Amino acid sequence: MSGPLTRRRTAELPEHPDFLWRKPQLKKSYDVIIIGAGGHGLATAYYLAKNFGITNVAVLEKGWLAGGNMARNTTIIRSNYLWDESAGIYEHSLKLWENLEEEVGYEMFFSQRGVMTLAHSVGDVRGKQRNFYANKVNSIDTEWLTPEEAKKVAPILNISDTIRYPIMGATYQARGGIAKHDWVAWGYAKAADDMGVDLIQGCEVTGIKVDNGKVQGVETNLGFIAANKVALAAAGHTSTLTQMAGFRVPLQSRTLQALVSELLEQVLDTVIMSGAVHVYVSQAHKGELVMGAGTDAFNSYTQRGGVHVIEHQLAAACELFPIFSRAHLLRTWGGVVDIAPDASPILGLTPVENLYINSGWGTGGFKATPGSGWVYADTIANNAPHALAKNYSLKRFTTGHLIDEHGAAGVAH
Amino acid sequence: MVNLSQFKVSPLKGQSFGNLETVSIKEIAFVESCDLRVEPNSPVAKKVEKVLALNLPQLVGGSAKGKVTALTLGPDWWLLVDANASLVEEIRQSTMGEFISLVDVSAQRTCLEVSGEFAKTVLQHAWEQDLDEVAFGINACSQGLMARCPTIIHRTDEKTYRLYVRSSFAEHLYKFLVDAATEYVK
Amino acid sequence: MTKVNFEFDSKMYSGTKGEPLVVALLKNGIKTVTDSTYLSRPRGVMALGAEEPCALVQIDSGSGEPMVPATQVELVEGLAARGLAGIGDLPNVSDDARYDKANRHVEVLIIGSGVAGLKAAQIAVSKNQRVMLIDDAPRVGGYFVAKNNEIDPELLAVLDSPNLLHLQRTTAIGLYDQGYVVAIERRTDHLSANYDPKVARIRTWHIRAKEIILATGAFQRFLVFPNNDRPGIMLSHAAATYIDKYQVQIFKKAVVVTVDDQGYEDALRLHKNSIQVQAIVDVRSNAVGALVDEVKKAGIEIIFDASVTNTQADEKGELAQVAISKVDLTGKVLSAVKEISCDLLAVSGGWTPTVHLATFIGVKPKWVKEKAAFVLQDLPKGLSAVGSVAGDLGETENTPASFFGVLPEGELATVSFIDLQRDATVRDLKRATGAGLTSIEHIKRYTTIGTSHDQGKTSGTTTIGLLSQLISKELEEIGTLNFRPPYIPVLFSALAGRDRGELSDPIRTTPIHAWHLDAKAPFEDVGQWKRPWYFPQNKEELHQAVARECKAAREGVAVMDASTLGKIDIQGPDAAEFLDRIYTNMFSTLKINHSRYGLMCGVDGMVFDDGVTTRLGENHFLMTTTTGGAAKVLDWLEEWLQTEWPELKVYCSSVTEHWSTVAIVGPKSRALMKKLAPDLDVSNENFGFMTNQYAAVAQVPARIARISFSGELAYEINVEGFFGLHIWNAVMDAGKEFGITPYGTETMHVLRAEKGFVIVGQETDGTQTPQDLGMDWIVSKKKEFIGKRSFIRSDTSRDGRHQLVGLLPKDKLKLLPEGSYLVAKDSKQAIADSNHIGYITSSYHSAALSQTFALALVADGRNRVGQNAIVPLFDEQVEVVITEPIFYDKENTRRDG
């Protein structure tokens, strides 16, 4: 079985720039404070500066910049969600992705290599077909693939009808793909910093000062910082912050895990997701497999999840892609995702004047990074929800106008 | 009287595998069983105990043997194994009008008896709970998922275990255990 | 000492069975194992165990495996391997080796069977408790045995304890909360190059321990300097062990560079084996004691305040010469000292305790300057550490220096390797700090240091140390990188274990399954259940079979296995009250032996399950649920009873599999029922719709319900599960004269859709109220029930919500795709920002109607009945007319036969 001596080369990554961002002195007050220097927080700062010329902004990060979902991620980018509202914001985001590297001036390895979502039963096909037609009607690019067509796109896919849950078809968004999470975050960070936004690391918010129903600023381990507007962008820790401001939000924080394999010869050049045989996988530039599945079932801030979630998705991967049985699990991670009752974001105003919220992206935050930042910046600048955020108001939990993406999100909650 | 047994088919159709010297896995078909729900230590419970000639164990994981084997699955929940219809009727009569539930669940599960030198070892491939003597002595029982199948396990002897698995899952659990036994059976 | 033949990089060699592959290679004169990933620099073995960064191979024999450190491969006859330049191969051949999983519970788990671990085991087994001892090497003894010592037999006797489970070749890969460890045991690769199909090749152990003792030891780190990566440069303890214990004899002249006394020990081992140790280069200013004296006695020169600062290679790229210079502890090169020719450079860069497992659950190691090591501290209850991982690095005469290498400028920085697998160098580290980064996590991502196969085992502390030197920050301040499971890379198939192929998820079957298999019915997966989809005869396609089955159901008699429906026995004095709260309609008014269709909503007022519930007695009900919703509904019932209404006296029991249900359907079903149950009065007067009778059916006691999901006269025969197949056979037999026709889920779907009966999960997606479905009639105005409050929410009560309607395509044969969307024919009627007005939930050919039809959810649907709409498909616009959601037998006259 041994072959001739071969030494292989693998894709080299270009280098990050020589200079990234300043380490500025923290000011006593800002026009806008953004809490959380994750992808969304950084993108928001960028668009505040870029689209509105608002640069007297501080992004406060209690840990190290972009240390949350942007530090490890399965990075699936797509816009083929079910509901019109979701399609709106995710498609806006995808359109921004398509020009992002050029606009921000940073390599992000944005690769539109397609995202395939498999259907494994009659009921599954029905549900995915509805998603497919919904996308068509919203002018979002989508195709329906037969199992044979799916195998043409991904030859390593097991389309045999003897596996436990045979593939019966798939949706395919050709414009979907992946990008490198750190590079995206650092691109936004550097560009924002270049425009004068202050990125403050090691700064933890310990209190939110509210007077007469209006936000005044934040208490931090580095002292009190006054602000005209305060915007929450702290993902899994959102509810601890809203509590400081005196109101509650219907978010649950759960662990979401992801994993990578060691570097392997390129065998998969598209992104494949399966709800029924629960796993989603892509193969990165360098050669590692990147995989994820559902959240752990209980609320937690520990950033570590159960090993059974890993075992199940590896078994799922081996069923769908027999060639992976010899790959090695190299590393697993856990992060904290915040999930709303309808698995859709909460973006917009809050009961506290000039305090804004952007949260609830759950397991789908990465792909929304540019769209979310854009819409949030607009909402903050105008003190009114952007058109694409109208339906993501906190108020919908009272009116009942939920946007239930549990199934469409493709990830088990 | 029609002999109804001639019409019965068990979920595993009486399959068996292996031997007692190493490990044996076989279906004990048509076990009669009844789901008992009653307030523990209540007067009603006492009436039940009287009919069954046993004390209903209080702690989950206990079992008792009298006219039936009672497995404690919950604070107010027992599975009565080998409870035939007339005995159940007797309990019903003696507790008429009281708050009690007796539900025939004979076909809800089937029984797999796993026994032999390697019985515990094989089960440890599929069961995440502690099966060693110190935690699971003879007569202990427990409930959970075995190879993703809802299963109740009852240790009836030093090297013998009875598994009560939901009937629709039985084939899967059987295949799984037979596969696990492959390395041990001679 | 068996001699074996093996293949490496397509050439044949021989070696000794059981020796590490790296040893066999070295003994055959092979120092270069592979090229580096990006720079194609020759690389050889550097370390002793799993921490090996360079010598990665692809195993081609046996089951095959990519990216295995050659230090971990034991030689067997027929082994075939090749060097890998950092990227593995995935052979497209199935891996038929066996992988499984085992569970164990113990009082004490000791990870590591070096001397410290053995001593801990000795104490542990002496108490009356279960002890487990695991270690990743082939044999016990760790560092002590590597130094060619023998373990005291009394200590070894521990391994025979009856209360000890001892496994070697078993690596703990994860430590999780509450005393949970996952370990990988390699069981057969060392026995044979071929796997045994009956014996698990790798076993994944899931261990729950009350107490975990980490005795995982430590490994050395190398030093960073220009050209520090050549084959022939090794960690000193590894070099000494290969030479002294394994008797590798290919090296002639050595230099040792060290930051601690370990270098002296290893120098003496080399010297003892006739290696010419030319010098010990010690970065410290002085060293004294017995070891130093012995080194001096052996005539080995010691150069203090110095380090190796460059190396030269021969024509093969392997080590030929080292350059030594005076340095300071910040990594600054001061002045050249000399150059020495040698083919072995043994590097003792300091010991790094193997702390990873503890860090997986959040323990933060602490830098102890006197030991120049990150040591475990503040271990949580139930976790302790012994031996070198606890910081017990031996009593040394002289303290180690916190020195990690030199930080050259320019060209030399580009060949000073920090992460050998990533070819990441000092230049990369300097760029990172130059870019403004100070967090070790940022630096890791900027430079990719630590992200490769070895996950920074030997380079991690070095990186932190160099960073400390570079930005003049104390190591304690910088902290460590986050380690994450698994400790070493693990095969996907090992963690997948037995959950593969047929066993990957349970297949749930009914008692009648064998018959369906014989009939060669294709199956539909409904959750984990396999349900017959249709029963083709004579090579029929789906739609042909369905047309025939529907016709039989509407005009003759057809039979279906309905056993999969969820069934819950609900009893107690408050059972009726409970059901009134759960369902939207009244159940307390239901008569005994009568059945009623019920709908249940979530607290948000949206439909979440439905089913027919029968009253068996005053305080006794049998609820049915959808097939897929059974577990969810039982959980729902229990949640309310246990957490909200514990005062209600109700008990629930799952009886889904206790009952098997065979439904006979159609105008001829009465006659068939009569034949099957001769003693039963099947007249409509006696046996009315939605009532139950008890009778012997085919001699077996049964409860028969007149429930119809098709609108036809129908009887659902419920028997104890054991009799399911018997009843089915009896029906097929007795039904022959009536042309009995078995039907599956597809036909079931069509029949109910013709009557406008919804399927929860198809006509609903969690956002429909009963009113949306046109089921106002089922929403009680008299009582409270779960979800009622939500009906008044503004969005839930507004006009224009999607409502259930029917659709008839103008082209009677055009089958509309399920899931396709509709637009208003006059697009000025577009509603709410979007030009679509709804979507199709169900769509079929109807034999009874001789045309296609569909059910759909359409905005303001009920007001649109009679209007036209368009279903835009790719190549055509299909015109439809919106109708009431019922197409067949609108007056419900057929149900009584």
pLDDT given for residue A1 in this prediction? 30
- Find the residue in C nearest to A264 (Cα): C88
Residues in chain C, total: 897
Interface contact C649-B99, CB threshold 8 A:
yes
Residues of B in contact with C701 (CB under 8 A): 4
Chain C environment of B166 (Cβ under 8 Å): 656-657
| Nearest Cβ partner for A330 among C453, C496, C604 | C453
Specify the CATH number for the domain of residue C39.
Answer: 3.10.20.440
User: Is C199 in the same domain as C326?
Assistant: no
Listed in order, the ranges of chain A carrying CATH 3.50.50.60 are: 29-73+182-251+341-399
CA-CA distance, A332 to C490, in Å (whole number)? 11
Are residue C237 and residue C207 in the same domain, yes or no? Answer: no
- DSSP annotation of C75 reads P
- CATH code reported for the domain at A112-176+253-339: 3.30.9.10
Token representation of residue C368: 């102890």
Contact C497 A399 (CB under 8 A): no
Name the C residues in 87-126 with CB < 8 Å from any A CB. 87-92, 94-95
Q: pLDDT, tens digit, for every residue of A16-73?
A: 898 999 999 999 999 999 999 999 999 999 999 999 999 999 999 999 999 999 999 9
Asked if C660 has any chain B CB less than 8 Å from its own CB, the reply is: yes
Q: What is the pLDDT of residues C201-229, one digit of tens each?
A: 999 999 999 999 999 999 999 999 999 99
Q: Is the pLDDT of residue C397 over 80?
A: yes
Does the beta-carbon distance from C506 to B147 stay under 8 Å?
Answer: yes
Lowest model confidence (mean pLDDT) among A137-141, A405-409, C14-18, C115-119: A405-409
Specify the DSSP element, H or E, that contains C446.
helix C440-447
When CB atoms are compared, the residue of C200, C509, C700 closest to B171 is C509
**Looking at the structure, do residues C48 and C99 belong to the same domain, yes or no?**
no
How many Cβ pairs within 8 Å bridge chains B and C?
125
Strand pairing report for C607-617 and C620-625: antiparallel
* Average pLDDT estimate for C793-817: 96
Strand C319-327: give its sheet, edge to edge.
C306-313, C319-327, C333-341
Specify whether the backbone of C456 is left (phi greater than 0), alpha (psi in -120 to 50) or beta.
left
Per-residue confidence (pLDDT) for residue C528, from 0 to 100? 96
Nearest CA in chain C to B122: C102
- With an 8 Å Cβ cutoff, are A265 and C491 in contact? no
Sequence ranges of chain A with CATH classification 3.30.9.10: 112-176+253-339
Radius of gyration of chain B (CA): 17
Alpha-helical (H) ranges within B95-169 are 119-123
Residue type for position C457:
K
C376 lies in the same domain as C411: no
Whether C468 and C475 have beta carbons less than 8 Å apart is answered as: yes
How far from the centroid of its chain's Cα atoms is residue A362's Cα?
8
Q: Is C883 helix (H, G, I), strand (E, B) or coil?
A: strand
| CB atoms C435 and A287 under 8 Å | no
Looking at per-residue confidence, does A10 or C290 come out higher? C290
Amino acid at residue number C408: P
Residue appearing with tokens 């809203």: A242
Exposed/middle/buried for residue C736 (C-beta within 10 Å: 0-12, 13-18, 19+): exposed
Residue C428 maps to which CATH number?
1.10.10
> CA A97 to CA A103: how far, in whole Å?
10
- Residue C829 confidence (pLDDT) above 50: no
* Residue whose tokens read 């304690």: C476
Give yes or no for C479 touching A (CB within 8 A).
no
CB contact under 8 A, C699 and B134: no
Q: Which residues of C183-192 are buried (b: 16+ CB within 10 A; e: fewer)?
A: bbbbbbbeee
pLDDT at C94: 81
Instruction: Tell whether B120 lies on the interface with C, counting CB pairs under 8 A.
Output: no
Across the interface, whether the CB atoms of C101 and B169 are under 8 A apart is answered: no
Q: Render pLDDT for A199-246 as a digit per residue (tens, 0 to 9).
A: 999 999 999 999 999 999 999 999 999 999 999 999 999 999 999 999
C605 within some domain: yes
Which residue among B130, B132, B167 places its CB closest to the CB of C721? B167
pLDDT at C875: 83
Model pLDDT for residues C831-875, shown as the tens digit of each residue: 334 578 999 999 999 989 999 999 999 999 999 999 999 998 878
Angle at B111 between CA B106 and CA B116, to 5 degrees: 160
Residue C763 resides in a domain: no
**pLDDT confidence bin for A407, thresholds 50/70/90:** low
Question: Which is more confidently placed, C481 or A78?
Answer: A78
Interface membership of C102 toward B (CB under 8 Å): yes
The tens digit of pLDDT for each residue in C666-716 reads: 999 999 999 999 999 999 999 999 999 999 999 999 999 999 999 999 999
Report how many domains make up chain C: 7
Write the CA distances from A74 to A184, A406, C34, C481, integer angstroms.
13, 18, 31, 21
Q: Which two tokens stand for residue C335?
A: 């002045």
For position C832, what pLDDT does the model report? 38
Contacts of residue B83, Cβ cutoff 8 Å, sequence gap at least 6? B32, B33, B34, B67, B68
User: Inter-chain contact A304–C91, Cβ cutoff 8 Å?
Assistant: no
In this model, does residue A8 exceed pLDDT 50? no
Min Cα–Cα distance to chain B from C564, Å: 9
Q: What is the pLDDT of residue A11?
A: 57
* C524 band by pLDDT with thresholds 50, 70 and 90: very high
- The domain containing residue C884 runs over which residues? 799-891
Predicted confidence (pLDDT) per residue in C313-330, tens digit? 999 999 999 999 999 999
Q: Is the pLDDT of residue C544 over 90?
A: yes
User: What is the percent of chain C with per-residue pLDDT over 90, rounded to a whole number?
Assistant: 93
Give the H or E element holding residue A94: helix A84-104
Is C762 inside any structural domain?
no
- Residue A173 has which token pair? 């968004």
Rounded Cα distance between A158 and C434, Å, is 48
State whether residue C181 is helix, strand or coil.
strand
pLDDT for position A15: 84
Distance in Å, alpha carbon of C42 to nearest chain A alpha carbon: 11
Instruction: Provide long-range contacts, Cβ within 8 A and 24+ apart, for C369-377.
Output: C369/C402, C369/C475, C370/C399, C371/C399, C371/C400, C372/C259, C372/C260, C372/C399, C372/C400, C372/C401, C372/C402, C372/C403, C373/C218, C373/C400, C373/C461, C374/C461, C374/C480, C376/C214
The residue of chain B nearest to residue C622, with distances taken between CA atoms, is: B103
CB contact under 8 A, C653 and B105: yes
Instruction: Look up residue B35 and give its two tokens.
Output: 């789901």
Does C113 share its domain with C171? yes
- Per-residue pLDDT reduced to its tens digit, C109-162: 999 999 999 999 999 999 999 999 999 999 999 999 999 999 999 999 999 999
**Residue C536: inside a domain:** yes
Interface check B96 vs C, CB under 8 A = no
* Residue C141: inside a domain: yes
CATH dotted code for A29-73+182-251+341-399: 3.50.50.60
- What type of residue is C687? F
Q: Do B179 and C503 touch (CB under 8 A)?
A: yes
Of A1, A264, A314, the CB nearest to C61: A1
Cβ–Cβ of C722/B125 closer than 8 Å?
Answer: no
Using a CB-CB cut-off of 8 Å, the residues of chain C touching B173 are 506
Work out the minimum CA distance from A20 to partner chain C, whole angstroms: 5
- Whether C793 is in a domain gets the answer no
Chain A: give the shortest CA distance to residue C207, in Å: 12
Tell me which of A56-60, B78-82, C439-443 is least confident: C439-443
pLDDT category of residue A321 using cuts at 50, 70 and 90: very high
Please choose, from the candidates C740, C716, C684, C682, the residue with its C-alpha nearest in 3D space to the C-alpha of residue C893: C684
pLDDT at A410: 43
Residues in A closer than 8 angstroms to C455, CB to CB, are 330-331
**Chain-chain contact of B176 with C498 (C-beta, under 8 angstroms):** yes
Chain B contact for C198 (CB, 8 A cutoff): yes
The rounded Cα C690 to chain-centroid distance in angstroms is 47
Q: Do residue C626 and residue C706 come from a single domain?
A: no
Q: How far apart are CA A147 and CA C99, in angstroms?
A: 29
Evaluate whether C207 touches C109 at the Cβ level (below 8 Å). yes
pLDDT at residue C86 tops 90: no
Do residues B26 and B39 make contact, with C-beta atoms less than 8 angstroms apart?
no
DSSP single-letter state for residue C640: I
- Position A5 pLDDT exceeds 70: no
Chain B contacts in chain C segment 728-747 (CB below 8 A)? none
Q: Which residue of B has its CA nearest to C506?
A: B172
Q: What letters, b where the CB count within 10 A reaches 16 and e where it falls short, cover B148-164? A: bbbbbbbbbeebbbbbb
Contact A340, A346 (CB under 8 A): yes
Residue where the block lists tokens 């436990």: A164
Q: Do B182 and C503 touch (CB under 8 A)?
A: no
| DSSP per-residue string spanning C534-589 | ----TT--HHHHHHHHHHHHHHS-EEEE-TTSEEEEEESTTHHHHHHHHBSS--TT
pTM of the model: 0.95
Residue A408 confidence (pLDDT) above 80: no
pLDDT given at position C827: 53
CB contact under 8 Å between C503 and B175, yes or no, is yes
Identify the residue among B3, B80, B101, B174 best suited for mutation to test binding to C, counting C beta carbons within 10 A and taking the highest.
Answer: B101
Q: What is the pLDDT of residue C825?
A: 76
Q: Looking at the structure, do residues C631 and C719 belong to the same domain, yes or no?
A: no
Tell me: do C129 and C194 sit in the same domain: yes
| C-chain residues near A404 (CB < 8 A) | 765-767
Q: Which residues of B touch C573 (CB under 8 A)?
A: 99
Residue C365, helix vs strand vs coil:
coil
Domains in chain B and their CATH numbers?
A: 11-30+108-181 (3.30.1360.120), 33-104 (3.30.70.1520)
Cα-based angle A83, A85, A88 (whole degrees, multiple of 5):
110
Which of A286, A274, A262 has the alpha carbon at shortest distance from A313? A274
At B33 the pLDDT is 98
**C773 in a structural domain:** no
Give the mean pLDDT of C552-559: 97
Picking from C716, C713, C717, C683, the residue whose alpha carbon sits closest to that of residue C697 is C717
Cβ <8 Å between A262 and C66: yes
- Measured between CB atoms, does B178 come within 8 Å of chain C? no
Residues C813, C667: one domain?
Answer: no
For the segment C448-452, the average pLDDT, to the nearest whole number, is 92
Chain A positions in Cβ-Cβ contact with residue C765 (cut-off 8 Å): 404, 407
How many whole angstroms separate alpha carbon C237 and alpha carbon C241? Answer: 6
Report the half-sphere exposure of C857 (CA within 13 A, side-chain side): 21
